[in-house]
Structure 1
Amino acid sequence: MKKTSAIKLDEIMKSLFYGEHETIIQLVNHFFKRKFNGKNCEVYSNSNEHINVKEIWSKIISDFVITIKAGKKAEQFHFEFQTKYDSSMSMRMFEYGLNIAKKFANKNQGTILMYPSQALLYLERDDSIGDSVTVTLTANQKFVYEVPVFRVWEFKIEKLISDKLYILMPTALLRFRKSPLIENFYTMCKLLLFIAPRFSE
């Protein structure tokens, strides 16, 4: 049952990210400190399926990958979300980033891999979750690859509204799914009170 529940939550989260381009742009601007204007850029959804080199004929699937094109410049962004802490996420984020970079590699002058901007979003409270995940590469020199972690459960509903992170508002309910029914009901009502005015405009 727990595995089935996790799968359903995963599918629900993925569906949230296929919304209006303006809400996606607001999300990118917030997490990656960009200043994209929805009127002057284009948003494209990219394939999130990648070949798994560890197993023949298998694939690994990332959550949400997009390209935003502003003028002649195009950038890739990757969001991954987790309901629970997972110690393998550092390596997974590195592998997802590598697979995405390979798809957009510039092979005109050698091979240039441009990793996407990545963000790992944790939805449910876990005090062991840090501010980032890292992978350390060593050869003749040491290089640390770091991906920022965001604890979405700490985002207040009012903050989601003020920062126009409407696409994340349904996640506010997930943090209370294990709480007493009365608390769930109160939170749902509070969320609906904030959402209703927006859709009535």
Structure 2
Amino acid sequence: MAAIVNTPYDDVFRTLLNDCSSLVIPLVNEIFHASYSGNETVEFYPNEHFINGQDGEERERVTDSCFGIRGEPFRKYHIECQSTADDSMLIRMFEYDAQIALDAGEVEDGVLTVRFPDSAVLYLRCRSSTPDVMTIRIELPGGGLAAYDIPVLKAQRYSPEEIFSKGLLFLIPFHIFSHESRFAEYERDEGLMRGLLSEYEGIKDRLGELAESGRLTEYVKRTIEEMSDKVLEHIARKHDRVREGVRSVMGGKVLEYEAKTILNEGIVLGRTETARRMLVLNFTPEQISQATELSLDEIEGLKQANDFRGLR
């Protein structure tokens, strides 16, 4: 099997998951038809797993996510973000699921008990042939059969109205995939371009309304906007007018009050952690210093100690 190479989309997925974990609960509700309230605690587990290959070599596999939600009952989830469907996806899902189950396996009185996570795939692109559900079937010794389904969420299928009505803000950075096939048309046609930008103005306004009402923190809002820019930078790298047009709508100047608001929201994390997050969001060292009271030298040291280039 070919080596799995991380893409900017994987990085955006993980950033949203780890820095804005509350956004994953509506996603789980949508994929698995769960009914979490959104106030549950999300617990993360190591993404690195080591798998023994048929040639005896031990290989590291890094999942996109492995987390649990403290509900009734507690459940563990595994979601992979995939930009394009490929035939190796089911094989990788089984490898990951089996290793996640084995990592938490329990042996008692000669019996090994493993619990597979609820697993799903988030496809950013899909075709008419992309299934809504994939299935792993295991033939057991003695003729027994075990099988489990892996639901597929197709990000391209969700309109802005569905995203906001269902609380699927996690999908906003990936919404641009639904327009990818028309980039060349947008570049040529001013009317179509205005329609695209109007749609993103609506998204920006609704995010602002959620933040103003207190239903979304300023930090999460800024992260969604910044991650949207990261996806846009990669997917529209050959379409300058689309890239710059959408960026002009979703970006904009970072205001001083936003830095102060984010500091207040993240104060429990400590000033250093807040500064780290603000670096990810492209605040300037001066803005970070003013908000956190860290010196410019301390912020520069934090930049050098952490690799913030992966999402640039």
Residues 51, 58 of structure 2: 8 Å contact kept? yes
Q: Cα distance 1:95–1:77, how it changes in 2: closer, same or farther (>3 A)?
A: same
CA distance in 1, matches of 2:170, 2:150: 21
**One-letter amino acid matched to 1:161:** F
Alignment partner of 1:174 out of 159, 174, 177: 177
Residues 44, 66 of structure 2: 8 Å contact kept? yes
- Please report how far the alpha carbon of residue 36 of structure 1 lies from its aligned counterpart in structure 2 after TM superposition: 2.6
- Please report how far the alpha carbon of residue 6 of structure 1 lies from its aligned counterpart in structure 2 after TM superposition: 7.1
TM-score normalized by the length of structure 1: 0.85
- Determine if the alignment matches structure 1 residue 194 to structure 2 residue 206: yes
Q: Cα distance 1:135–1:70, how it changes in 2: closer, same or farther (>3 A)?
A: closer
Deviations, residues 111-160 of structure 1 (Å, cap 9, x unaligned): 11110011111112322211122233223123333211121210111111
> For residue 101 of structure 2, what is the aligned residue in structure 1?
101
Structure number having the greater strand percentage: 1
CA distance in 2, matches of 1:49, 1:150: 24
- Determine if the alignment matches structure 1 residue 138 to structure 2 residue 139: yes
Structure 1 segments, 4+ long, off by >4 Å, are: none
- Please report how far the alpha carbon of residue 194 of structure 1 lies from its aligned counterpart in structure 2 after TM superposition: 2.4
CA distance in 1, matches of 2:6, 2:91: 21
Alignment partner of 2:168 out of 148, 161, 165: 165
TM-score normalized by the length of structure 2: 0.57
- Please report how far the alpha carbon of residue 66 of structure 1 lies from its aligned counterpart in structure 2 after TM superposition: 0.5
Residues 21, 43 of structure 1: 8 Å contact kept? yes
- Please report how far the alpha carbon of residue 100 of structure 1 lies from its aligned counterpart in structure 2 after TM superposition: 0.7
Structure number having the greater helix percentage: 2
Equivalent runs, 1:62-73 vs 2, <5 Å: 62-70=63-71, 73=73
> For residue 57 of structure 2, what is the aligned residue in structure 1?
56
Compare relative contact order (CA 8 Å, sep 6+) and give the higher one, 1 or 2.
1
**One-letter amino acid matched to 1:90:** L
Deviations, residues 15-66 of structure 1 (Å, cap 9, x unaligned): 1222444322222222222223344x42211111111311634311111111
Residues 50, 59 of structure 1: 8 Å contact kept? yes
CA distance in 2, matches of 1:176, 1:133: 26
- SS of 2:70's equivalent in the other structure is strand
CA distance in 1, matches of 2:206, 2:6: 27
**One-letter amino acid matched to 1:135:** I
- Please report how far the alpha carbon of residue 195 of structure 1 lies from its aligned counterpart in structure 2 after TM superposition: 1.7
Deviations, residues 144-192 of structure 1 (Å, cap 9, x unaligned): 3321112121011111111111122221123324523426534432321
> For residue 92 of structure 1, what is the aligned residue in structure 2?
92
CA distance in 2, matches of 1:38, 1:117: 18
CA distance in 1, matches of 2:30, 2:108: 33
**One-letter amino acid matched to 1:125:** C
- SS of 1:169's equivalent in the other structure is helix
What is the aligned length? 195
> For residue 156 of structure 1, what is the aligned residue in structure 2?
159
Deviations, residues 89-121 of structure 1 (Å, cap 9, x unaligned): 111111111111112212235111110011111
CA distance in 2, matches of 1:108, 1:172: 47
Structure whose alpha-carbon radius of gyration is higher: 2
Q: Cα distance 1:200–1:128, how it changes in 2: closer, same or farther (>3 A)?
A: same
Aligned-residue sequence identity (percent) comes to 22
Q: Cα distance 1:90–1:57, how it changes in 2: closer, same or farther (>3 A)?
A: closer
Residues 157, 178 of structure 2: 8 Å contact kept? no
Cα root mean square deviation, aligned: 2.3
